[in-house]
Amino acid sequence: MTLPLIAIFGALTLLAAFFSDRIRGLFLFTLSILAVYALQPALPIRYLDFWLPTAALALALIFWISLHRGAEWHSADNLLSAAWMGLIILTLALTRFLPSAPSPLTPSMPPRPELVFAATLAVALLAALTGRVRFGWVHAVGLAALIVLLAVLKSPEASLWMARTLRLANGQSAETASSFDIRWLGISYIIFRFIHTLRERQMGSAPEVSLREYVTYIFFYPALTAGPIDRLERFVKDIRSSWKPAHEDWIVVVQRIGLGLFKKFVLADSLALMALSANNTDKVQSPGWAWILLYAYTLQIFLDFSGYTDIAIGMARMVGIRLPENFNAPYLRPNVTQFWNNWHMTLTQWFRAYFFNPLTRALRTRQFPIWSVILITQFLTMTLIGAWHGLTANFLFWGLWHGLGLFVHNRWSDATRARVSEWATTPLRQNLLNASGLFFTFHYAALGWVWFVLPTPALAVDFFARLVGM
Amino acid sequence: MQESFSIPRTLLKGLALYFVIVLLFALPLPNFGKVSAYNSLFPGRPRLPFGENPAEAYNFSLFNLDAMFASHEVADGTKPADEFRVLVIGDSSVWGTLLKPEETLAAQLNAAAPTYCGKPARFYNLGYPTISAAKDLMLIDYAARYQPDQILWLTSLEALPLDKQLDTPLVANNAETVDALIEKYDLPLDRNDASLVRPDFWDRTLLGQRRNLADLIRLQLYGVQWSATGIDQIYPPYPAPQTDFADGDDQFHDLRPPLDESALAYDILAAGMNHSPAPILLVNEPIMISDGVNSHIRYNFFYPRWAYDAYRAQLAARAESQSWNYLDVWNLLPKSEFTNSAIHLTPAGETILAQTILAALQPECP
């Protein structure tokens, strides 16, 4: 989010803080729908930047219906919410007739309203049909489709193929197609929230929520672009509570937004001017400067990401939503395991809940040796976390790097725990141990960013060589 | 007793403090441009900051003279007692467009390692990529504080038309400095010229100055990448300079033959030459002499033959009458030693020019 957008959404959220509970709920619902369009970047494929947010909203409607155990989904309140969603989408389409079109509410000129109306009707029909089929099928097909969609969007080759296909279908030239033609704002987070709700429903632990609550949860605008990934149960608890901000809440709001803005727009953006990048990696002349560029990137990525999280948490607090923390001083941790317990915490918690723990249980019940269970689960989980950032070799290597770190730390820790306890008997020795652990962990994470930031493993290997003066 | 917290009161106090800081900034304060990370955290730059693609060149244009010079290696501490300091002033051909720092004229002069007055000479590149005598005079005047022993001033006819002296962005955005130069040297320039950017009270507040302040900070931050890579310019592919010209294309600005001396900034040149902090060798820099269509009318994109020939005669006459130390190397180089413009030289061209200047440079020793 840019500064002006943060200012606009911040001001609107401030306004919402003073509404009654019911009006605030409706306001957040409306604002979250509008944000999906307003924050979506403009795309070169005609109307795609309108259809992608619309598709996300359509998926939300269908998945929400599938969460219900009975027929209560078509209550008057929910039907009204669905109609309100449709009305907003149609109104956005009508903005194409404004003299100053496109309006700031859409990234570019919306498609013709009759097309949008037809699409809205089709989605409504599909949603009604969803209500009639067995939800188990919807969940299974939905989960598979979401994973395939995420894989396609994260793979440059598949995205390029899709861009070409869409361009041709749209009557546009496929020659200038690029994988960046399909940038779907916040889709990684949106899909993970969808998967979370569908899996919880499969396990029977998803709460009953209204359409308004569900859409607000999936597209909650402070957390739309960079998380955190909240849990539905926790989120609706907040949104259903009566809310009147106290002085302490305002202090938190000012502190978190102020700190977030400073971290992102002062520190991180300044560090970006000196950080390691694909542009400068092969031009660095000495190991000393190579380390400085790497440290700058290490701090930049943390300050950028955690700054956005602070802004999201502060903005949400204005309206009584206590978004979960995403970072807890990760670079000040004594080992790689603790680093991952404190870095992008909601993402790691998601993977732990829906991949790591089930896989560990499955392997243990098959009597695999403990070391192999740890090896397989750590490597696979971290590789998937890498793939979540992009299905390219550099992100996969980054995931493997951390999988290796977690596995080695686990084995090392098991093997040396007794001896370390015997040795670290004084505060001095304990501090020494912590300091050396922190130093090692920080540098392990920093070196891991080389894989992450450089687009190919060959560039990363070359930069590692520069770091040691080769 | 715990003091109660009031949101409106806190907001009011915060706003009041904010506006006080914003407005206080408009008062005359020490110039922040002099505070620099260069020559301390990072090495000084071998040429003045200039560029339009900072993300790749780690360099960009700003107009704060203090900051520009503070980032340059000439500002690195006090002048060593055993250094014979030579400042090289001029346009983009001196700054080194399309040349790496080690290929510029100053670098080639340093590579020759001459000794003057018993001291090893060190040449500093103070060229700046716009062609204007007023800009050159401003840089010479500013650079006096760095105690030069000798100045090389490379110029050309394009630096002299009076009507363009204040258009150069570096000059236009330093109106107070220009005022001082007009006063000091009685220059034929108009203080009320619309080109000069004169900030009002609001422009001088923190809000009005935010772009300039951001530039100062960016200049420091790009110091990291400049130090790490040694890159201060990008080198894109370029077209060869124009060699063919239209029939009857004999224009030079709005002037017509004979070349009117009063339309040229000879007074600015004279101010620099006669009031310089150190002896100056004035060099009429090499230009490309084209051999294409209508080259009998024009030497190159910049100059019709009538204007340039007249300029050379006028400048030589002034140099002789005022005893200036003058070197005319206008036709020193073949066409092949020019890159993308009729004044930008190849590294080999700079080498030949450096050798020629060194042969002519005979500083007076105290």
pLDDT tens-digit readout, B320-360: 999 999 999 999 999 999 999 999 999 999 999 999 999 99
Hey, of A253, A273, A466, which one would you mutate to test binding to chain B, going by the most B CBs within 10 A of its CB?
A: A273
For chain A, the structural domain boundaries read 39-206, 330-467
Chain A residues in contact with B7 by the CB 8 A cut-off are: 247, 250
> What is the phi-psi region of residue A47: left when phi exceeds 0, alpha when psi lies from -120 to 50, beta otherwise?
left
pLDDT tens-digit readout, A411-439: 999 999 889 989 988 999 999 999 999 99
Per-residue pLDDT at B5: 64
Report the Cα–Cα distance between both ends of chain A, in Å, rounded: 40
The pLDDT of A283-306, averaged and rounded, is 97
For chain B, the structural domain boundaries read 21-360
Q: By the CB < 8 Å criterion, does A289 face chain B?
A: yes
Chain A residues in contact with B221 by the CB 8 A cut-off are: 270, 273-274
pLDDT tens-digit readout, B23-53: 887 776 667 788 899 999 999 999 999 998 9
Q: How far apart are CA B209 and CA B215, in angstroms?
A: 10
Percentage of chain B beyond pLDDT 90 is 76
Record the pTM. 0.89
pLDDT tens-digit readout, B212-241: 889 999 999 999 999 999 999 999 889 888
In A186-225, the residues whose Cβ lies within 8 Å of chain B are none
Name B152's Cβ contacts closer than 8 Å, sequence gap at least 6: B86, B87, B88, B89, B90, B123, B280, B281, B283, B357, B361
Residue in B5, B221, B229 nearest the CB of A284:
B229
Tell me the residue ranges of DSSP E strands in B97-241: 115-116, 119-125, 150-155
Chain B residues in contact with A251 by the CB 8 A cut-off are: 5
Residue in A270, A283, A296 nearest the CB of B229:
A283
Closest Cα in chain B, distance from residue A296 (Å) = 10
Residue in B217, B218, B228 nearest the CB of A293:
B228
Give the number of other CB atoms < 10 A from CB of residue B181.
22
Nearest CA in chain B to A290: B228
Q: For residue B223, report the phi and psi dihedrals to the nearest 5 degrees.
A: -60, -30
Give the DSSP per-residue string, A257-302: HHHHHIIIIIIIHHHHTTS--TTTGGG--SHHHHHHHHHHHHHHHH
CB–CB of A280 and B225 under 8 A?
A: yes
In A139-158, the residues whose Cβ lies within 8 Å of chain B are none
pLDDT tens-digit readout, A300-349: 999 999 999 999 999 999 999 999 999 999 999 999 999 999 999 999 99
CB–CB of A292 and B217 under 8 A?
A: no
Residue in B56, B221, B228 nearest the CB of A284:
B228
> Which position has the token pair 């996969």?
A396
Q: How far apart are CA A164 and CA A181, in angstroms?
A: 9
Pure H helices in B230-304: 266-274
- pLDDT beyond 90 at A137: no
Q: By the CB < 8 Å criterion, does A283 face chain B?
A: yes
Which band of pLDDT confidence, cut at 50, 70 and 90, is reported for residue B1?
Answer: very low
Length of chain A counted residue by residue: 470
Residue in B218, B222, B229 nearest the CB of A285:
B229
Nearest CA in chain B to A296: B224
CB–CB of A273 and B227 under 8 A?
A: no
- pLDDT beyond 90 at A132: no
pLDDT tens-digit readout, B257-286: 899 999 999 999 999 999 999 999 999 999
Q: How far apart are CA A331 and CA B125, in angstroms?
A: 44
Name B349's Cβ contacts closer than 8 Å, sequence gap at least 6: B286, B333, B337, B338
* Pairs of residues, one from chain A and one from chain B, whose beta carbons lie less than 8 Å apart: 41
Closest Cα in chain A, distance from residue B57 (Å) = 10
Q: By the CB < 8 Å criterion, does A251 face chain B?
A: yes
- pLDDT beyond 70 at A99: yes
Closest Cα in chain B, distance from residue A3 (Å) = 15
Note whether A454 and A278 are within 8 A (CB). Answer: yes
Q: By the CB < 8 Å criterion, does A299 face chain B?
A: no
Chain A residues in contact with B55 by the CB 8 A cut-off are: 279
CB–CB of B225 and A274 under 8 A?
A: yes
CB–CB of A279 and B5 under 8 A?
A: no
Q: By the CB < 8 Å criterion, does A363 face chain B?
A: no
Note whether B221 and B71 are within 8 A (CB). Answer: no
- pLDDT beyond 60 at B61: yes
Q: Is A2 exposed, middle or buried (0-12, 13-18, 19+ CB in 10 A)?
A: exposed
Sign of CA dihedral B67, B71, B77, B81: negative
Nearest CA in chain B to A287: B228
Percentage of chain B beyond pLDDT 70 is 98
Q: For residue A404, report the phi and psi dihedrals to the nearest 5 degrees.
A: -60, -45
- pLDDT beyond 90 at A449: yes
Q: By the CB < 8 Å criterion, does A318 face chain B?
A: no
Q: Is CATH 1.10.287.4070 the classification given to domain B21-360? A: no
Rounded to 10 degrees, the C-alpha dihedral A378/A384/A386/A387 comes to 160
Query: What is the ipTM metric for this complex?
Result: 0.82
CB–CB of B228 and A283 under 8 A?
A: yes
Q: How far apart are CA B308 and CA B275, in angstroms?
A: 26
B325: Cα separation from own chain's centroid: 21
Beta pairing, strands B119-125 & B115-116: antiparallel
Sign of CA dihedral B71, B77, B78, B82: negative
Give the DSSP per-residue string, A204-259: T-PPP--HHHHHHHHH-GGGTTT-----HHHHHHHHHS-----HHHHHHHHHHHHH
Hey, of B229, B231, B232, B233, which one would you mutate to test binding to chain A, going by the most A CBs within 10 A of its CB?
A: B229
Closest Cα in chain B, distance from residue A164 (Å) = 30
In B194-233, the residues whose Cβ lies within 8 Å of chain A are 217-218, 221-222, 224-225, 227-231
Closest Cα in chain A, distance from residue B14 (Å) = 12
Window from A49-58, A97-106, A276-285, B340-349 with minimum mean pLDDT:
A97-106
Q: How far apart are CA A220 and CA A31, in angstroms?
A: 8
Q: By the CB < 8 Å criterion, does A117 face chain B?
A: no
Nearest CA in chain A to B6: A247
Per-residue pLDDT at B28: 66
